[in-house]
Amino acid sequence: MTMIEMKRVYKTYKRKNVATEALKGIDLEIQEGDIFGVIGYSGAGKSTLVRLVNYLERPTSGQVIVDGQVLNDLSDSQLRAMKKQIGMIFQHFNLLESKTVFDNVAIPLVLSKKPKDEMKKRVMELLDFVGLSDKARSYPKELSGGQKQRVGIARALASNPKILLCDEATSALDPQTTQSILQLLKRVNKEYNITIMLITHEMSVIREVCNRVAVMEAGEIIEQGSVLDVFGHPKYPTTKNFVKTVIHNSIPESVKRTLKKTENSRVFRVEVKGEVASEPIVHQLMKNHEVEMNILFANMTEIQETTLVIMYMQFDGEASAIERTLQFLNEKGAGIEEVVE
């Protein structure tokens, strides 16, 4: 089921008669249960995009559909009811400094006028879920960044939302804390079956938790798909740059310089995914002696609990022998691309 959908969404800001196009024709679909990542450099329009989902930003044109409801058609009070179905966490946590952890988490329930005892039960349950039961009486000032974000997550979950929006939720945290928050988000996704949309500029965040990803540049989604596909086959320079930050995906310069090209040699990029990666493909290739094989570069990454292996291989041999080798790889389910430089 589609949880979040955007159709031809444009957003233009007007300031002092200068119009800035923040979003230029966004088409997007996020399925129920997805952890959908949006990555892009600052100014790409990510923040605006995520705020369209709970209508903190209204589109200039185009449709935003959340859980089957077209947000454009809703009245203010219907929108407020809709927002209770959507939790949101922020880069700087945005907790009330004047209230205890307990009261911060309780606030969405206070707004919905829930009875006191029900509220107490729910808040303690959530604090337990995020591992902060002992901090109920503390103030945000007394917490570390990671703990603050846990409070933020508990607060966002208080009203039992279907969707959780994460606005650079780990960007202010150190790598270790980031890891623990990401693990928590995974649990939120699995245990409560909450669809998560997160925006980030860190590819490692996408690799760690997302199953689908969209890459944004200058107000447009330039690439989207499963994380495995996008990581394996980045098409645009921006995507390639992002992927490069977590996967080395090209022949190192030093190898390139010393690469001996002969008349019969060809270089291929071979990509192997999932179970195939554990088969002794290389061994089998070497055994048949038809071509001389040289691995120029190899990298292995785990994405979504799937192994992704990227190798650059040079084959030297007769044309027909190389063709047979390629066919063998093809049968094994490897993705092959010739590298022409």
**Is residue 144 a contact point for other proteins (CB under 8 A)?**
no
Q: How far is the CB of 109 from other proteins (least distance, A)?
A: 10
Q: How far is the CB of 297 from other proteins (least distance, A)?
A: 44
Sole binder of other proteins in the list 7, 99, 186, 240 (CB under 8 A): 99
Q: How far is the CB of 41 from other proteins (least distance, A)?
A: 22
Question: Among candidates 297, 316, 198, 288, which has minimal Cα distance to 255?
Answer: 297
Helix (H) or strand (E) holding 283: helix 281-287
Sole binder of other proteins in the list 38, 49, 66, 83 (CB under 8 A): 83
Helix (H, G, I), strand (E, B) or coil at 247: coil
Question: Among candidates 337, 270, 278, 338, which has minimal Cα distance to 310?
Answer: 270
CA distance 127 to 103: 11
CA distance 172 to 191: 26
Looking at the Cβ atoms of 104 and 325, the one nearer to other proteins is 104
Tokens matching residue 217: 């540049």
Bridge partners of 19, per DSSP, are 14
DSSP for 181-228, written as a single string: HHHHHHHHHHHS--EEEEEES-HHHHHHH-SEEEEEETTEEEEEEEHH
**Is residue 88 a contact point for other proteins (CB under 8 A)?**
yes
Looking at the Cβ atoms of 192 and 236, the one nearer to other proteins is 192
Looking at the Cβ atoms of 84 and 332, the one nearer to other proteins is 84
Q: Which stretch binds other proteins (CB under 8 A): 89-97, 143-151, 178-186, 216-224?
A: 89-97
DSSP for 307-338, written as a single string: EEEEEEEEEES-HHHHHHHHHHHHHTT-EEEE
CA distance 163 to 4: 9
Q: How far is the CB of 284 from other proteins (least distance, A)?
A: 55
Instruction: Report how far apart, in Å, the C-alpha atoms of 12 and of each of 49, 55, 89, 193 are.
Output: 12, 15, 25, 34
Q: How far is the CB of 7 from other proteins (least distance, A)?
A: 23
Q: How far is the CB of 54 from other proteins (least distance, A)?
A: 5
Number of shown-chain residues binding other proteins (CB under 8 A) = 27
Q: What binding mask, one character per residue, do residues 161-190 give for other proteins by CB under 8 A, x or -? A: ----x-------------------------
Looking at the Cβ atoms of 158 and 206, the one nearer to other proteins is 158
Helix (H, G, I), strand (E, B) or coil at 304: coil
**Is residue 97 a contact point for other proteins (CB under 8 A)?**
yes
Tokens matching residue 261: 């090209």
Q: Which stretch binds other proteins (CB under 8 A): 12-20, 82-90, 193-201, 248-256?
A: 82-90
Q: What are the residues binding other proteins (CB under 8 A)?
A: 54, 56, 79-84, 86-88, 90, 92, 94-99, 107-108, 110-111, 139, 141, 159, 165
